[in-house]
Structure 1
């Protein structure tokens, strides 16, 4: 990848081509429990290189405000919460959650307030997350209707982690299937590895195929990527497939199932959301054990919210003394993904990669993002999924008879 293409892909601030593209989609920015209650102090959040505030009025209406007052750029995190609006403490200008200017007490002309409008953006709760839209008002797409949004609350579990990488690296972590059997060697993502299998095991998929066949097939709004491996089941040689699903521009469905959403804080930092869901209630204690890192690996910013502490100075929290029994010397799959991607640096030089066939899904994602951003620069609207289309999105895994039958593994 050329240096200029890499910069084009990862620069997300205001006015950048990629930033303009990302702002055309609904994106999660907080977990639901992080959203302030009615008339409580606003919460600051940084996303796509800009600073915002989330605030709820006394009736529960939610508004995403630009952090800085439109008058003289004072932070509205200092504002008074007055039930129907936020009042800047500098000159008293007051704004409601729809952007209406309710009062300008330092100006004589009362008509000025009716003519002015503050920069406020749509915000909605759904599936345990707060979603916002930062693009042009007349281009707002359908709000997504993913399966976990339509289930009882105890059927899903959402968490958020802060990674010191650009958002593309976050996406790559979920689209690169060939690393599963190597980096995550100690984890049984499916079946059991051959070297750990016992003769007594029955009805368990046994595998040691670290060279999966990678297939990529576009769909409206993204693509499916399938990794097919040779496996044994009760002595029979079979084929096993894991179907991941990339949903432009932030999302990847991974078989658990889980929807991961990698939303850029800025060019070099990312909020990584994970939503586990199923047709039965989710065991929250199991989720915490798997996805919440201990204090020596992560700072707990809030319940279910963590900031990764791995750096070059602490060798990304690797414990080499454990490598006689742990392939990576890292605690669990989440710590492994965080370590390898953080070790690349916040924006790696992709021009020096020696990519191969196993990287087909990663390459397709990069190309799809760049092509969509360039098309938007030419005035061509990005392809958006309807709410009905998003309701059918998911992932799958299972035994195949033939490679071409992998779509049968997806939710119907």
Structure 2
């Protein structure tokens, strides 16, 4: 159970809010590179942490992220002309460069120096791994660029996508670091009594806090077959990385050499961008197009499942196309797509975010409780002028998620020590 005031403290992300100021101490993804494909291409609307912004790639290929409204008369810069290394408002012709400086003011006298006195809000951008990142905090607190292992993995070994989720960011994050729900929400073969999720529905959780957040494992007792241990990383403020080297199909273990995860970025208090990544766990094994397509389809993000604006075809407006007969006979939810199942549960909770003062948490919620403690701590640290955990890339650059089947007489911390170490 979380006090209502603490719940508000964690869920609200606009300027000046405690959690909003925490997010503003990190580099966060703003949009995919494919959304700004070429110099002087059309600008793109962006909303992050409750702020309306406009993104553009100028004539030299440099990136800009500005206040969405011209500082002259607040006309939307979405209509602007992207030309000659600047964004020109079509209302009166004022033009801004990627730093937010006004560089031309054609409706003022030619001898006027007024343009030199006008700047609009601009946030620095950095492009890496097919993504455009931004930092929205104080300039003197700007941290080094992110250095997650999945960012360093070659393009041939990595796939990144994003999806719009109509819920508060904390609901999405907590779903991601909740390992026991997979035995239920993601049980897509209820008839298979030998399946992992059926054989061991209540994993034992162990959490180890760190300078970037924590690592934790879900240990499933498979009796004579040993323990299946899935290792996660929670990297502050909103990233989950998990082992995906093993998948269970028809009661059998198959190699699936990869590590996957999500990074949740609040759009505002009620909506979220979910950044999905998967990368090869082995430098010598690149991904194939077939592998990526199978993965995205399995998780509900295949080409036929995503609408314009990175929104899912299955959504609350159509009850996620739930099939009650499939639910009765084949799958636990009757909803297609692993992440779509998550969305169905998270998007239909209370709005704008769920009331955690009414919860009843158990031992299966150990990681969720730990994350809340860290996030509340981070809000206090930032308020006191300090740096929250996970800002320094050196704290997390060498970690990864992992999963393995290990003998029952071995402790996971020793048996999987090397599996938690980055290889890229």
Greater shift in the superposed pair: 247-256 or 316-325: 316-325
Note if contact 2:243-2:401 (Cα within 8 Å) is conserved in structure 1.
yes
Which residue pairs with 1:319 in the alignment? 323
1:183 CA drift (Å)? 1.8
Note if contact 2:296-2:302 (Cα within 8 Å) is conserved in structure 1.
no
Note if contact 1:11-1:18 (Cα within 8 Å) is conserved in structure 2.
yes
Q: Tell me if 1:195 matches 2:197.
A: no
Shift in CA distance, 63/22, structure 1 to aligned 2, threshold 3 Å: same
1:33 CA drift (Å)? 0.9
| CA distance in 1: counterparts of 2:319 and 2:41, whole angstroms | 41
1:130 CA drift (Å)? 1.3
Note if contact 2:204-2:219 (Cα within 8 Å) is conserved in structure 1.
yes
Which residue pairs with 1:200 in the alignment? none
| CA distance in 2: counterparts of 1:103 and 1:171, whole angstroms | 44
Note if contact 2:213-2:389 (Cα within 8 Å) is conserved in structure 1.
no
Q: Tell me if 1:221 matches 2:212.
A: yes
Q: Tell me if 1:287 matches 2:292.
A: no
CA RMSD in angstroms, aligned pairs only = 2.3
| CA distance in 1: counterparts of 2:185 and 2:95, whole angstroms | 53
1:370 CA drift (Å)? 1.6
Shift in CA distance, 354/387, structure 1 to aligned 2, threshold 3 Å: closer
Shift in CA distance, 27/210, structure 1 to aligned 2, threshold 3 Å: same
1:44 CA drift (Å)? 0.6
* Superposition map of 1:11-410 within 5 A: 11-108=12-109, 110-186=112-188, 195-196=193-194, 208-232=199-223, 236-256=224-244, 257-278=259-280, 279=283, 280-282=285-287, 283-293=291-301, 299-301=306-308, 305-307=310-312, 309-311=314-316, 314-322=318-326, 323-346=328-351, 347-400=353-406, 401-405=410-414, 406-410=416-420
SS in structure 2 of the partner of residue 336 of structure 1: helix
Shift in CA distance, 391/378, structure 1 to aligned 2, threshold 3 Å: closer
1:411 paired residue among 397, 401, 421 = 421
Note if contact 2:26-2:391 (Cα within 8 Å) is conserved in structure 1.
no
| CA distance in 1: counterparts of 2:390 and 2:272, whole angstroms | 23
Greater shift in the superposed pair: 56-65 or 344-353: 344-353
| CA distance in 1: counterparts of 2:107 and 2:318, whole angstroms | 53
Which residue pairs with 2:255 in the alignment? none
SS in structure 2 of the partner of residue 21 of structure 1: helix
Cα deviation per residue 1:182-213 (whole Å; 9 max; x = unaligned)? Answer: 2212269xxxx97246xxxxxxx897111111
Note if contact 1:76-1:88 (Cα within 8 Å) is conserved in structure 2.
yes
1:408 CA drift (Å)? 4.1
1:229 CA drift (Å)? 1.2
Note if contact 1:157-1:287 (Cα within 8 Å) is conserved in structure 2.
no
| CA distance in 1: counterparts of 2:37 and 2:106, whole angstroms | 27
| CA distance in 2: counterparts of 1:317 and 1:306, whole angstroms | 15
| CA distance in 2: counterparts of 1:292 and 1:2, whole angstroms | 34
Cα deviation per residue 1:298-349 (whole Å; 9 max; x = unaligned)? Answer: 55115xx3346422x6444321111212222111312211111122234111
SS in structure 1 of the partner of residue 267 of structure 2: strand
Note if contact 1:12-1:264 (Cα within 8 Å) is conserved in structure 2.
yes
| CA distance in 2: counterparts of 1:177 and 1:121, whole angstroms | 36
